[in-house]
Chains A and B, each alone.
Chain A
């Protein structure tokens, strides 16, 4: 009897402690980037299992979209102009979605920029300014409309020899999407996935607060441009301040205008806030290329989508925000 009297309060205490929300956080280096997942949940076992499984999803995407010689993406590129390559349903859908976003953004998002990325050396440690005639010579290889998909046979064919697809502008968003799907399958209601700045928040943070997401200042390392507060959203930023080099005082970065072969001018940072992390990832690149005016016109057409575009002009730095975001009176550190 004494033992029962002792055990009951103990069980009660254990029950109460089990109900308290805890934060579980883990970081891994995948897709060439630090990937961090934060889960807030009362069930330690469930949270740890969900963490593990969602990282497995990111690893799968890493293998699927990677550039190793044995990857499907490499096989598609090596067979450009030769033959269609059969891919799995997942990779087919990523390429299909990339083409759809290419259409949506009037060709500003184009996964066939691979030859340009290689020519400029942004896939190496030492990018450099290529000769103009070399840039012109690879431009015919850059056009997503030359990707031929066969839905029945699940094949991908690059119509011109030398074409190369580069999924760098969408793979991280897709990885975030797959990781979030896995977390939701495990019944996780509060989480944050951050793959190298591509962020998705699920539900709310602790104590029913919205998640606070800082936007990296494009010109001041370790400073934030602004802080956004969201729940159930994807927030992705593209900028010219991480992968770049200077030549004769001009900054050359890695986000190309597919039609000219040169890095986009004017925009220095674009942040997209929308529901789908894959769309957010691709749109942030496309809107960067299109610039504030054309870019914002497209953003306004897409449901539940907001943007912050920072441009450098002759009149100084201009911050353009989409209409709904403007109503929140965001403060900017610029």
Chain B
């Protein structure tokens, strides 16, 4: 389930040409899935649709082979993003040659391989990932080391990730790069036989071309309008603190409650709070449901404006840098079809509200508030 929530954010991010932090979260989830448990093949299909006529379809194949103290995980992700219209927000319409009859689909292919080794109370995991789309390429690696102690009631984990990204936009001759380094530290403590808590902090540093090359900012002067490309600072420092609490609720029906809080801030003066509540409940040994609710609120970057009245040093048309609130609600059903086949179906609704004045005719950055639906299915075969 965790990966789905990450993917909701991840999809939105892919669409907007990515924020590395979310992508890291997504791959970090894959890394944590290397679990020394069993041999497994999972096929996942995810479909995302929103009110901006955007559809994203993703198919993931993930395979884990585990022996005592050793796990190997390999996977591939293929997704396609299609949009009904071009992303040029500065005019009411664009006249151009008739496109070929098929909708244009932006494709992304991603491959990863991970290895985990466990020796007594120490675990080391490594994952290497490569992703490519028509105008973007990313290669990255993840390292984590976990040490358990205090009779395995306490675990300390450190992680490091590195991303080297290249961007080569359509229709231009230049290309640029982004490097991102992420440091992660977490402490997990068992509080009682039915509860545990985890504290986590992440620091990430991105350096390079952090703009979206396709975004334009319109500045209206008395008679003329001028159009500018985005100008973001070239360095972005991000820090996040999180706390996670898990409670197993005793009773005839097994159930659990999970609470998650995350505080984030960066040197672009964005701050955010994430609150998440998740409830899992078994109805039979084979069937369990999961419900999730998440609220996210964010304060805007120091240079974000809905309307720019003059050319400025930093300018953006990126709504992810605005103040906004998002809410996510989801319901999932998991069913063990046999002792070796698990099925999972999840539906989530994701809404984003900016409270900005949406005036496309005078060049506002704001668009209509986002409303999206996400459908996720996963078939896992254990062997």
Contact = CB atoms under 8 A, between A and B. Distances in A.
Nearest to A255: B97
Contacts of B102: 125
Contact of A36 (B85, B95, B99): B85
B361 A206 contact: yes
B98 A197 contact: yes
A82 interface: no
B341 to A, nearest CB: 37
A241 interface: yes
Contact of B100 (A222, A240, A243): A243
Given A27-B85, A34-B85, A223-B171, A209 B361 contact: yes
B101 interface: yes
Given A211-B92, A212-B91, A220-B172, A269 B84 contact: no
Interface string A141-179: 000000000000000000000000000100010000000
A156 B170 CA distance: 45
Interface in A233-277: 235-243, 269, 271
Interface in B166-181: 169-172
Contacts of A205: 92, 361
A192 to B, nearest CB: 6
Given A217-B171, A222-B214, A269 B91 contact: no
A127 B349 CA distance: 42
Interface string A207-236: 101011111111111111001000000011
B100 A199 contact: no
Contacts of B95: 194, 197-199, 213-216, 235-237, 271
Contacts of A211: 92-93
Contacts of A23: 360
Q: Mostly helix, strand, loop or mixed at chain B's interface?
A: loop
A236 B102 CA distance: 20
A264 to B, nearest CB: 13
B96 interface: yes
Contact of B171 (A206, A214, A220): A220
A332 interface: no
Contact of A197 (B91, B94, B100): B94
B94 A206 contact: no
B86 interface: yes
Contacts of A36: 84-85, 93
A216 B93 contact: no
Nearest to A253: B97
Contacts of A239: 96-97
Interface string B144-173: 000000000000000000000000011110
A161 B135 CA distance: 47
A197 B97 contact: yes
Q: Mostly helix, strand, loop or mixed at chain A's interface?
A: strand
B355 interface: no
A194 B93 contact: yes
A225 B85 CA distance: 17
B88 interface: yes
B170 A216 contact: no
A197 B92 contact: no
A220 B86 CA distance: 13
B359 interface: yes
A197 to B, nearest CB: 4
Nearest to A36: B85
B10 interface: no
A67 to B, nearest CB: 10
A271 B96 CA distance: 8
A50 B184 CA distance: 55
A3 interface: no
A217 B91 CA distance: 14
B298 to A, nearest CB: 26
A218 B97 CA distance: 9
B97 A237 contact: yes
Contacts of A221: 170-171
A172 B96 CA distance: 13
B361 A214 contact: no
B99 to A, nearest CB: 5
Interface string A181-211: 0000000000010101111010001110101
A27 B84 contact: yes
A330 to B, nearest CB: 12
A212 B85 contact: no
Contacts of A194: 93-95
Contacts of A227: 90-91, 225
Given A222-B170, A223-B171, A224-B88, A29 B103 contact: yes
A220 B53 CA distance: 23
Contacts of B101: 32-33
B87 interface: yes
Contacts of A33: 98-99, 101
Q: Which 10 A-B pairs have the closest CB atoms?
A: A216-B96, A239-B97, A220-B171, A32-B101, A214-B91, A221-B170, A221-B171, A197-B96, A34-B84, A242-B97
Interface of B: 53, 84-88, 90-103, 169-172, 214, 225, 227, 359-362
Given A23-B360, A211-B93, A222-B214, 15 more contacts: A32-B101, A36-B93, A125-B102, A194-B93, A206-B359, A212-B92, A213-B91, A214-B88, A223-B171, A237-B95, A240-B97, A242-B97, A242-B99, A243-B100, A269-B97
